[in-house]
Amino acid sequence: MDIRNCSRCGRLYHYDGFRICPTCRREDEADFTKVKEYLYKNPGADISEVEKETEVEASKIIEFLRQGRLEVAEDSNLVLECEICGTSIRTGRFCDKCASDLQKELSLSIKGTGKKPVQREKERFRVIDRYEKRR
């Protein structure tokens, strides 16, 4: 059994893959619903207004946006910035351009670290194989 302290409220809970306990998660869910509904009715609201009206902390609202769970309406004053280039984005952490750049870099580094050793290993086997056959 994996018992941990909730990283938010400090209570003990059965760890099930989340950093916070089920109680805090339920609170988050309720906050999320409040924010979503408020934004649905007031698409032009900015973060401080949403914070005041829903009593959900701005940092949590931003967290919802970063997670991609909330998307900002086209004409909204809620603005997020791409973590790399600072372009304003509507959801997530990066703009489309940086996200695809990141994707490319990621697949390159996977190729770089993963494939080469495997190939070398294969080659070595082939050499040994031939050598043994000749004997």
| Contacting residues toward Zn ion, per CB under 5 A | 6, 8-9, 21, 24, 82, 84-85, 87, 95, 98
**Size (the chain), residues:** 135
Residue nearer to Zn ion on the CB measure, 37 or 96: 96
Closer residue to Zn ion, CB minimum distance, 20 or 73:
20
> Residue for token digits 């697949």?
107
Minimum distance of Zn ion from residue 97's CB (angstroms): 6
Q: 103-126 b/e with 16+ CB inside 10 Å = b?
A: eeeeeeeeeeeeeeeeeeeeeeee
Q: Which CB sits closer to Zn ion, 19 or 122?
A: 19
Q: CB of 81: closest distance to Zn ion in angstroms? A: 8
Nearest approach in angstroms of CB 52 to Zn ion is 25
Straight-line distance from the first to the last Cα atom of the chain, in angstroms, rounded to the nearest whole number: 57
Task: Pick between residue 38 and residue 94 the one whose CB is nearest to Zn ion.
Answer: 94
Residue 91 · residue 62 · CB < 8 Å = no
How far, in Å, CA of 6 to CA of 121, rounded?
45
Query: What letter would DSSP give residue 22?
Result: H
CA angle 78, 69, 87 (to 5 degrees): 45
Q: Could you tell me the smallest distance in angstroms from the CB atom of residue 45 to Zn ion?
A: 25
